[in-house]
Chain A
């Protein structure tokens, strides 16, 4: 195969994935239609995630005005926002609730997109960038969790980073030291301290947003160029106009999402679900309070990690990541029905671990639930 033909095939491949000839008013606004079927609700989840992202950007920017990323001031500045700045508690609480809701939306979006086989050719790029966005969102959650520098944040981050080091035991010879080096590179020093805070801050506020903007740009462009995938095997009974019918409904979802987020942020402090010692300033010389655990959206790896040998989890999560990234090629021939069952199983696992992980843990390990 000559170089010319390789380049030609590559260009064709990209052209098919990004049909930019559709990049006009006629195709993107006037002609675009959305199929209506029993899974149509799945079409709104990505939009909802985007909405929460916007909320996160706005509230995050506002928090930046007061937040101070040093170990001596971080906790105090967060407390200052909550207690003294007008509307600060609301903004901070919106940021906290918004992050949870965004992650919930992203996960639900992934599962429904999977169930609808939305990764089918020519939408592979959309899917892969979507998986990338999922990882970025988790990255946001993990790095943002540390910033308030309270007990649960620092200790949970320690535990999370420590698990990287555990990979070392499965690597041969000199390589066994690599995970430790990686962890210390992420941390910036031997333990979680000022260097870690600075790094996580930079990652959370600059690196991840830029990465996200890039990936999201590709993702949204691809979505807009290809339109909604058909979603079900049988032909849709009805199709509705993307503009204005679908977009109005989409905005309505945003409105409801905003209202729910607003009421929650106004009335239910995110911290109230945990005992207060977890939210005191981290004291490297004090005792570790009880109840350290990661945020709920990491339970699905955290509890298995507690229950099973580390190697099993390592292999399983590696497999899951590969499966997710390569889904368009692995499941190319799978029927939508099978995909729906798989997605349902995934959802059941995630929900089960999130809601009952603690009970499952105690069922196997004993101890008071």
Chain B
């Protein structure tokens, strides 16, 4: 699906929305840690490449990115989560155990497999991100590898999200046996029903004929 009605793919959609709750409740969170930046370069590139809008929830916990005080945003982390966030930030090299509270599983997997250094390099050339990740990895097991999902701007963690035709062919292949059985069941049921109705009609006619003949007698 294309973007509709000239909707702009908002590249910087991430940090745009300040937390209303924050302002209104007047709670002084220690928000807006300067090092916390979403990576709008990737988002812009992915949306542009596929012509399908994406938001920060591709890799982040919150669709509006990590800045703010809503769930999955830095303003709401407790000390333990803050600890995990800092550990994730220090994962310069690939292979570190990463479980950042502001990222979703895919985002964490990116940091784990690529490392922060590589990610920062890729920021300069965001189009190369899909090529950098494992071409076989398919986290939602919808038949479309994560790299392809990034190129298509579909979500690597949502199995109902993908290019429709690719999802369809994959699912047909996966469910071939079920579909075959459903076809057989439908055909057999229709055949049986048709025979039953025909039999009923014939029997009814015969019964009717009997009445007629008895009338005549």
Contact = CB atoms under 8 A, between A and B. Distances in A.
Interface string B138-162: 0000000000000001110011111
Contacts of A280: 55, 57, 63
A251 B13 contact: no
Contacts of A274: 1
Contacts of B6: 362, 365-368
Contact of A290 (B9, B164, B168): B9
A287 B64 contact: yes
A289 B55 contact: yes
B136 interface: no
Interface string B9-50: 110010011011100000000000000000000000000000
Interface stretch (A3-11, A46-54, A242-250): A242-250
A61 interface: no
A367 to B, nearest CB: 3
A268 B5 contact: no
B95 interface: no
Nearest to A93: B160
Interface in B114-147: none
Interface in A271-308: 271-277, 279-280, 283, 285-287, 289-293, 306
B5 A271 contact: no
B190 A276 contact: no
A268 B153 contact: no
Interface residues of A, number: 48
A266 B175 contact: yes
Contact of B189 (A241, A255, A269, A358): A255
Interface stretch (A64-72, A212-220, A256-264, A315-323): A256-264
Interface of B: 1-10, 13, 16-17, 19-21, 52-55, 57, 63-64, 70, 153-155, 158-164, 167-168, 171-172, 175, 178-179, 182-183, 186-187, 189-190, 193-194, 197-198, 200-201, 204, 208
Interface of A: 29-30, 82, 89, 241, 243-244, 247-248, 251-252, 255-256, 258-259, 262-263, 266-269, 271-277, 279-280, 283, 285-287, 289-293, 306, 358, 361-362, 365-369
24 contacts: A29-B204, A30-B204, A248-B193, A255-B190, A259-B186, A266-B171, A266-B175, A267-B167, A267-B168, A268-B171, A271-B161, A272-B154, A275-B52, A276-B154, A277-B53, A277-B57, A279-B161, A285-B70, A287-B13, A290-B4, A290-B7, A291-B4, A367-B5, A368-B6
